Amino acid sequence: MDTGDTAWILASSALVLLMTPGLAFFYGGMVRSKTVLNMMMMSFLALAIVPVLWVLYGYSLSFSPDGNQFLGGFKRLGLDHISQGTAYGTIPEYVFVAFQLMFAIITVALISGAIADRAKFGAWALFIVIWMTVVYFPVAHWVFDFGEHGGWIATKLKAFDFAGGTAVHINAGAAGLALALVLGKRVGWKRDPMRPHNLPFVLLGAGLLWFGWFGFNAGSAVGANGLAGLAFVNTAVATAAAMVGWLLVEVVRDKKATSLGGASGAVAGLVAITPACGTVSPLGSIAVGVIAGILCALAVGLKYKFGYDDSLDVVGVHLVGGIVGTLLIGFFATKGNTGGIGSIFYGGHFEQLGKQAVAAGAVLVYSFVLTYIIGKLIDVTIGFRISEEDEVLGIDQVEHLETAYDEAGIIGGSALKTGV
Amino acid sequence: MDTGDTAWILASSALVLLMTPGLAFFYGGMVRSKTVLNMMMMSFLALAIVPVLWVLYGYSLSFSPDGNQFLGGFKRLGLDHISQGTAYGTIPEYVFVAFQLMFAIITVALISGAIADRAKFGAWALFIVIWMTVVYFPVAHWVFDFGEHGGWIATKLKAFDFAGGTAVHINAGAAGLALALVLGKRVGWKRDPMRPHNLPFVLLGAGLLWFGWFGFNAGSAVGANGLAGLAFVNTAVATAAAMVGWLLVEVVRDKKATSLGGASGAVAGLVAITPACGTVSPLGSIAVGVIAGILCALAVGLKYKFGYDDSLDVVGVHLVGGIVGTLLIGFFATKGNTGGIGSIFYGGHFEQLGKQAVAAGAVLVYSFVLTYIIGKLIDVTIGFRISEEDEVLGIDQVEHLETAYDEAGIIGGSALKTGV
Amino acid sequence: MDTGDTAWILASSALVLLMTPGLAFFYGGMVRSKTVLNMMMMSFLALAIVPVLWVLYGYSLSFSPDGNQFLGGFKRLGLDHISQGTAYGTIPEYVFVAFQLMFAIITVALISGAIADRAKFGAWALFIVIWMTVVYFPVAHWVFDFGEHGGWIATKLKAFDFAGGTAVHINAGAAGLALALVLGKRVGWKRDPMRPHNLPFVLLGAGLLWFGWFGFNAGSAVGANGLAGLAFVNTAVATAAAMVGWLLVEVVRDKKATSLGGASGAVAGLVAITPACGTVSPLGSIAVGVIAGILCALAVGLKYKFGYDDSLDVVGVHLVGGIVGTLLIGFFATKGNTGGIGSIFYGGHFEQLGKQAVAAGAVLVYSFVLTYIIGKLIDVTIGFRISEEDEVLGIDQVEHLETAYDEAGIIGGSALKTGV
Amino acid sequence: MKLVTAVIKPHKWEEVREALAAAGVAGMTVTEASGYGQQKGHTEVYRGAEYDVSLVPKIRLEVVVDDADVDSVVSTITGSAQTGKIGDGKVWVIPVDSVVRVRTGETDEAAL
Amino acid sequence: MKLVTAVIKPHKWEEVREALAAAGVAGMTVTEASGYGQQKGHTEVYRGAEYDVSLVPKIRLEVVVDDADVDSVVSTITGSAQTGKIGDGKVWVIPVDSVVRVRTGETDEAAL
Amino acid sequence: MKLVTAVIKPHKWEEVREALAAAGVAGMTVTEASGYGQQKGHTEVYRGAEYDVSLVPKIRLEVVVDDADVDSVVSTITGSAQTGKIGDGKVWVIPVDSVVRVRTGETDEAAL
Ligand SMILES: Nc1ncnc2c1ncn2[C@@H]1O[C@H](COP(=O)(O)OP(=O)(O)O)[C@@H](O)[C@H]1O
Ligand SMILES: Nc1ncnc2c1ncn2[C@@H]1O[C@H](COP(=O)(O)OP(=O)(O)O)[C@@H](O)[C@H]1O
Ligand SMILES: Nc1ncnc2c1ncn2[C@@H]1O[C@H](COP(=O)(O)OP(=O)(O)O)[C@@H](O)[C@H]1O
């Protein structure tokens, strides 16, 4: 085992953990002040539940070496057969367990943005358990397990997905779309502005996400080496380029650049470069970033056209961004970074694009269909949505007995703004 | 010296530094808006004072190799006899100095939660200096110095405390209780709600604490290895399990899960796994987490029973959580992780539990008694508490000439909400 | 290549990236609530533009080995001639590219504090592009390129600037002064209080900056070793000492210590220790910190004397702090850390002070003059400043079509506080 | 002319606004307020402790109207703000001597 | 009936509320306000700069009362809100034509 | 005595305050409010979606004045708050029965 590689993956695991609180702020700032706590708690509930599932059986279903190409095995149940001395490549397997755990947490948390302000908290808890088990653990195996009995996308199809454009972003985006359809629109959708109640929080979230994402992407090299360096540089420059792209769309269309656009553009770039950061060059990353920034900026308007309330644009940013990044590998991958496999612009090869499309499509369809079914099952049994009256009052009060802010404090405890 | 080990401890030191600003937000969000700045500044004052003490004499009193089992020596005064080439195990001693400094900072900062809204800032500054010198530096030596003339808990008693359940959490918790008794209750305690004024800040603080805590716990392996990996996984899963435990208590008792509960549960889990993360298995960590989450959720009600105003539950979370974690090692430690020493559930050995109890009790009593004396001395000399009138007006105005928020800004500079 | 060194510089690069969002909060909290988004977006725009410039030609102009002592060469345009296997010392060159990129981003972002609340966003975008090209890339080459055709300050003058006291802080401070003069004072300056609208954000920013700064300073060892350890300890203790210094000035002058003072003191200490952290001892760092804290606390009043509206004290903190730190090396550098070159207090050598002064002066003059010209050019062409009316209304509304907070949320979407 | 002041429940605001607009009220001024009344005395449990909450959030409307419109405006408000539960609020009417429109200087009826 | 409006210092709010409750006032409406008056002119020093602060935070109460209760309500407020220092506030009384309770439609005395 | 209530545009607040001070008004009470009126109906585009914004931020002033000063106070406010654009606001005048200064118990003219 290599202490340097281990040090970087330990640090990366911590970085990726932080992404979920970061997401809580990115999302939490975007909703109205009467729903921010629930929005944040949807992410924190992922932090509470997923690690327990992961240790009990999730890691095993995703990575236990005794599985097949569709699902891992059972040897790692309860993290059995792992000790401090067990290696995974050049790092302790415990470290790999930790690193991959963080991916599992954030993926389900991402979905919550599609159903802001209206989901029963208990139903969301149940959804996390079922969705992780039925959707995430298998898909993570498909994409991230490169072992002898590894996943079909990683080992048979050999589509490139360096850090999870399919397993994380397309997966979460498709699931978000499905849940937005199951739950329906918020009261007042299209009538009320529902503008972000705290844009500095959105920027804070974007900043923490970007920071953590270096662990996500450069950590996916599973070592401290030139590949990690490439992924790091690409993550920085594609994100920047996507911000430029998104802000340009706004300037052209609305004359002004918004802070919400800046934050969203950064996330769109991070999403798009996730699958591609190990295979494209830094110049290619600029292209990936700009394209993703522009396309996602346009895609967030789709929900108004098609009439689904994907409240915080999980579809527009994660689904669209994930697809863009996954497919652009087929155009921009360089032979030097792929071990000889070219792409349309670098060598004129079209095959890889096809593989990328198959991987993207498979995850999209699998996730959308399964999620829709899970959502409907929860809805018809315990009910997924709170009442209209409660929604108008604000889900924070109703589901958490709290209001986020109480800043009137001048007056002793019984501050003017307390209570219902 | 090993660059990989060094890289991880450098990163860990930065992570642990961030915990104190994280704590400032965790605590700051919980108080009323008229006292948030003072609450945060109590943590920032620890950041200002402790590093200076540490370099001058703190590190020496804790770790200089020329001491005895109760106190370090004087060879490291002013960090004398350390150069870039001096090693501590496989890392440069300077890195170890930095890492341990961060523990010293946060420990005293933790105490401040017990005396929210009412302590003179100058008295708090004086308290930091005295308390670090008289309480923390010796206790850190007892627990963290494994050298030839190391501390009695580490080298004679051989209680397990991987990352500071005793020296940090029981120590701070007992001190918090003592200070809460010295200062007395806030004006309006039990009458006014005194609810958190900014719950997103509480969640931000919890997120930053969790993130930094990976440095605290996995960094305590003082290397990038399988032990660090184990500590990392355990820290993730116990924290999650404790959130589940705390939220379940709320759901059962109040029908709803709060965001304050989620954040508090996470911290309770982090506290409890701190001593245990190097000796229990991931499955054991789930148990430690759930138990700590449940017990701490119940323990925060004690102050109403016994009538002390431990404002932000330093006792309920850090003292109780620290004791729970320290004692549960006696039940859940596995031979594979301890080098052959079993526990009640793993090998049926009861001895270790006794050692754990002695360590916990010794630190608790020492810290409580000394802190009470220090607090009283400060109170009778310069006075520890602000006047009632100032407390009603808000300590931020009185002690810092500031109000935290001024969001009316529409009106030029002289915003409506400015001033007293 | 060394994986441990690589791991630490990867982590450091992520840490330094986070400093710019940290700065956005440090600055954003200090302005009025009607201008916070613009303030933050000035930093985020640096994050959007600089990485693209860096990959296209910035890295090459700063570090390509085919240049001369005043400017790098053109071999690294588009990061040409770098692959995963290319080394820079003991780390992959891609990692060095990433690390240095982060310095470039934050330097220009620092300047924005001097022109808060009144700069056209488009003009700021243009400024970033020109200033980076004409000022930063050359100066970075002077100071940070130690190669065969490296910069004149690094390789001929041999002034010590470990992590960028000149290239980053004096550079940004001088530029800030120039731009403050070009843009003129804010409407209501000196009449309206213009107090910070969100002091917890200022503290958050200070905390994130400090955290990230460990990457900045200890990462500048470009390895995980004793030098990194020294820089780390020095960064911790000088920052603390500077907080103490600043707060003491306040206590003496105003009777009370403010949170803005605590945050500013920390940043002043970080700035001053930046050039010095690799050459002075921890005890020397305490001196550097205290001196910087006191001098910067006094220096922020200069703008009222001389009548320039350096809104958030870029001059008082970064220019003054940068000069203090750069010059104090001439007093406190120890032979053990410099490879034998002493200083006034350590060996009685005065020569180094002269070199330090030349480096500081050269960067100061170059940056001030060039920035003033760039600013004027932008002002007379597209205009740098928004209209008075828009300034009173608030630049967030005008330049970004947004207001930062909307916390009235009780009332459905059309919250009372929305809109203009 | 008269000034009609109404204190209502926040979540009724949209309905009241629409009802008033439908009734031809062209303008009003709204503030956030806190109400104390019979609705008081509700007890909250939080983190294991119990508290009386004496103030509840309200919306406070002011509408200046012609004498002739007073009754219809009052009944429009009471009609649309009513939930039948304690705390629905109050409406009171005050005599107004004169009104001016700042923009034009028009006064009284013309100013509305 | 009359509308009693009082502008008081924020930290006196609890006392005023309790005194009014003791005096039998069953309801009131409260808003946060800023006051400008003789208390103005205080100068603040912050980060080395001096400023005049012209507005100070106040609490604004509105209580609709029977004509008969006006004097006792006014004196209860002035009694409990008084500190004797500049800026204690003002109380003014305005005639009210009518009051309605939204919940029931009761009017005037019955609506209080 | 009279109560002059004015609803104005926020960025006019400084000017109004200075004009009133110059006109000898010694005190007033200010609240943040939201206005609904002809200025309504403005449409905002944000993130590609369009919305009607019906409420706009306003500042609400209350000044109790002697009968004799009413006209000058009203015209001072309308003069200094006017921009000529829709939404400049309204000023209305209400009869006041009595005023008390909390600090001293002085009443009526002496209380101002
Ligand atoms: N005498 C009063 N003067 C002014 N406002 C009042 C008065 N009484 C009640 N209110 C306002 O009306 C609101 C509702 O009154 P409450 O007594 O709770 O219920 P209801 O009006 O249904 O009987 C209160 O919250 C308060 O804002
Ligand atoms: N003419 C007025 N009209 C309305 N409110 C007033 C008037 N004068 C004073 N106030 C209010 O009363 C508060 C106290 O007045 P001030 O002159 O400061 O002290 P005092 O009432 O003790 O003489 C002011 O802050 C303001 O809110
Ligand atoms: N009838 C009314 N009663 C109370 N306030 C009103 C009334 N009409 C308008 N206002 C207030 O005056 C403000 C300006 O009115 P508006 O109709 O928009 O423009 P203008 O006064 O220039 O005609 C509104 O925002 C509202 O606060």
Question: Cβ distance C29 to C197 under 8 Å?
Answer: yes
* CATH code of the domain containing A354: 1.10.3430.10
CA C121 to chain centre: 20
F neighbour chains, 3+ CB pairs within 8 Å: A, B, C, D, E
Closest CA to B277 of B318, B199, B219: B219
- Give pLDDT tens digits for A342-372: 899 998 889 999 999 999 999 999 999 999 9
Judge: C263–B47 Cβ closer than 8 Å, yes or no.
no
Q: What is the ipTM of this complex?
A: 0.92
The answer to whether residue B306 is domain-embedded is: yes
Cβ of D93 under 8 Å from any chain E Cβ?
yes
Confidence category of residue C416, pLDDT binned at 50, 70, 90: very low
DSSP H stretches of helix in A132-258: 137-144, 152, 171-183, 199-218, 226-254
Give the nearest partner residue to D54 out of A393, A414, A417, using CB atoms.
A414
Judge: E48–C304 Cβ closer than 8 Å, yes or no.
yes
The verdict on the CB of residue F76 being under 6 Å from ligand 3 is no
Judge: F10–B410 Cβ closer than 8 Å, yes or no.
yes
Q: Domain ranges in chain F?
A: 2-111
Q: Which residues pair with B347 in a beta bridge?
A: B343
Question: Which of D28, D59, D109 to mutate for ligand 3's pocket (most ligand atoms within 8 Å of CB)?
Answer: D28
Question: Which of E4, E5, E7 to mutate for ligand 2's pocket (most ligand atoms within 8 Å of CB)?
Answer: E7
Between A197-201, B241-245, C180-184, D102-106, the lowest mean confidence (pLDDT) is in D102-106
- Give pLDDT tens digits for C85-111: 999 999 999 999 999 999 999 999 999
Cβ of F10 under 8 Å from any chain B Cβ?
yes
Ligand 1 environment, Cβ below 6 A: D 7, 35-39, 56, 58, 86-90; E 27-29, 62-64, 101, 103, 112
The C-alpha atoms of residue A43 and residue A386 are separated, in whole angstroms, by: 18
- Give pLDDT tens digits for C241-251: 999 999 999 99
Cβ of F89 under 8 Å from any chain D Cβ?
yes
Most distant CA atoms of chain A, gap in Å = 71
- Encode A108-125: b = buried (16+ Cβ within 10 Å), e = exposed: bbbbbbbbbbbbbbbbbb
E102 Cα–ligand 1 center, Å: 9
* pLDDT(C412) > 70: no
Judge: E51–C193 Cβ closer than 8 Å, yes or no.
yes
Judge: B412–F59 Cβ closer than 8 Å, yes or no.
no
B294, B304, B305, B407, best to mutate vs chain D, most D CBs in 10 Å: B304
Burial (CB count within 10 angstroms: exposed 0-12, middle 13-18, buried 19+), residue A302: middle
Ligand 2 environment, Cβ below 6 A: E 7, 35-39, 56, 58, 86-90; F 27-29, 62-64, 101, 103, 112
Place of tokens 């900043």: A207
Q: Which residue has the higher pLDDT, C129 or C415?
A: C129
* Mean pLDDT, range E8-17, rounded to an integer: 88
A261 Cα–ligand 3 center, Å: 34
DSSP H stretches of helix in C195-258: 199-218, 226-254
Cβ of D38 under 8 Å from any chain E Cβ?
yes
Give the nearest partner residue to E49 out of C258, C261, C304, using CB atoms.
C304
CA distances from C391 to B101, C25, C117 (A): 46, 21, 7
Mean pLDDT of the residues in chain B: 95
Between A186-195, B246-255, C249-258, C319-328, the lowest mean confidence (pLDDT) is in A186-195
Number of domains in chain A: 1
DSSP A117: T
Return the half-sphere exposure (C-beta side, CA atoms, 13 A cut-off) of residue B412.
Answer: 22
Judge: C416–F55 Cβ closer than 8 Å, yes or no.
yes
Cβ of E17 under 8 Å from any chain D Cβ?
yes
Closest CA to D50 of C41, F96, B195, A253: B195
Cβ of F21 under 8 Å from any chain C Cβ?
no
Residue type, C201: F
Nearest-by-CA chain C residue for E43: C193
The verdict on the CB of residue F7 being under 6 Å from ligand 3 is yes
- The pairs formed by E97-101 with CB atoms below 8 angstroms and a separation of 24 or more are E97/D2, E97/D70, E97/D92, E97/D93, E97/D94, E97/D95, E98/D74, E98/D92, E98/D93, E98/E1, E99/D90, E99/D91, E99/D92, E99/D93, E99/E1, E99/E64, E100/D74, E100/D78, E100/D90, E100/D91, E100/D92, E101/D88, E101/D90
- Give pLDDT tens digits for B172-225: 999 999 999 999 999 989 888 889 999 999 999 999 999 999 999 999 999 999
What residue owns the CA closest to ligand 1's atom 13?
A: D89
F56 Cα–ligand 1 center, Å: 27
* pLDDT(E2) > 70: yes
Question: Cβ distance D16 to D9 under 8 Å?
Answer: no
Judge: C3–B3 Cβ closer than 8 Å, yes or no.
yes
Contacting residues of D for C412, CB less than 8 Å apart: 11, 13-14
The C-alpha atoms of residue D43 and residue A186 are separated, in whole angstroms, by: 30
Closest CA to B229 of B238, B219, B239: B219
Confidence category of residue F41, pLDDT binned at 50, 70, 90: low
Burial (CB count within 10 angstroms: exposed 0-12, middle 13-18, buried 19+), residue A87: middle
Mean pLDDT of the residues in chain C: 95
Residue A144 structural domain:
3-402
Place of tokens 């997924």: A384
DSSP B13: H
What contacts A255, CB < 8 A, 6 or more positions away? none
Question: Cβ distance E56 to E41 under 8 Å?
Answer: no
Question: Cβ distance A300 to A313 under 8 Å?
Answer: yes
Closest CA to A405 of B30, B191, B306: B30
| D-proximal residues of C, 381-420, CB under 8 Å | 408, 410-412, 414, 416
DSSP A114: G
Nearest-by-CA chain D residue for C410: D10
E neighbour chains, 3+ CB pairs within 8 Å: A, B, C, D, F
Nearest-by-CA chain C residue for F54: C414
CATH class of D2-111: alpha beta
Judge: E102–D90 Cβ closer than 8 Å, yes or no.
yes
- Per-residue pLDDT, B209: 98
- Per-residue pLDDT, C376: 98
The answer to whether residue B407 is domain-embedded is: no
What residue owns the CA closest to ligand 2's atom 24?
A: E35
A193 CA to chain F: closest CA distance, Å? 6
Judge: B228–A6 Cβ closer than 8 Å, yes or no.
yes
The answer to whether residue B408 is domain-embedded is: no
Spell out, as residue ranges, where chain A has pLDDT lower than 70: 407-420
Q: Which residues pair with D98 in a beta bridge?
A: F93
Q: Which residue has the higher pLDDT, A405 or C121?
A: C121
- Give pLDDT tens digits for B35-89: 999 999 999 999 999 999 999 999 999 999 999 999 999 999 999 999 999 999 9
Q: Which residues pair with E28 in a beta bridge?
A: D36
A neighbour chains, 3+ CB pairs within 8 Å: B, C, D, E, F
Q: Which ligand is nearest to the CA of E1?
A: 1
- Per-residue pLDDT, F68: 93
Question: Cβ distance B217 to B277 under 8 Å?
Answer: yes
Judge: C411–D13 Cβ closer than 8 Å, yes or no.
yes
* pLDDT(E25) > 80: yes
Place of tokens 């010796």: B138
Residue D57 DSSP SS3? strand
- Per-residue pLDDT, E93: 97
The answer to whether residue B414 is domain-embedded is: no
According to the per-residue pLDDT averaged within each range, which of A123-137, B334-348, D53-67 is highest? A123-137
DSSP F108: G
What residue owns the CA closest to ligand 3's atom 19?
A: F87
The C-alpha atoms of residue B393 and residue B389 are separated, in whole angstroms, by: 6
Question: Cβ distance A353 to A330 under 8 Å?
Answer: yes
- DSSP letters of E35-77? EESTT--EEEEETTEEEEE--EEEEEEEEEE-GGGHHHHHHHH
F111 CA to chain E: closest CA distance, Å? 8
What residue owns the CA closest to ligand 3's atom 9?
A: D27
- Per-residue pLDDT, D41: 54
E30 CA to chain C: closest CA distance, Å? 16
Nearest-by-CA chain A residue for B260: A402
Cβ of E102 under 8 Å from any chain C Cβ?
no
Mean pLDDT of the residues in chain D: 89
Judge: A229–C97 Cβ closer than 8 Å, yes or no.
yes
How many A/C residue pairs have CB atoms within 8 Å?
Answer: 228
Give the nearest partner residue to D60 out of E29, E97, E101, using CB atoms.
E29
Question: Cβ distance A10 to B218 under 8 Å?
Answer: yes
B410 Cα–ligand 3 center, Å: 19
The C-alpha atoms of residue C100 and residue F99 are separated, in whole angstroms, by: 69
Give percent of chain C above pLDDT 90: 92
pTM confidence score: 0.94
F59's enclosing H/E stretch is strand F56-65
What residue owns the CA closest to ligand 3's atom 20?
A: F87
E50 CA to chain C: closest CA distance, Å? 8
Encoded tokens for E41: 């002119």
The C-alpha atoms of residue C372 and residue C395 are separated, in whole angstroms, by: 23
B18, B210, B225, best to mutate vs chain A, most A CBs in 10 Å: B225
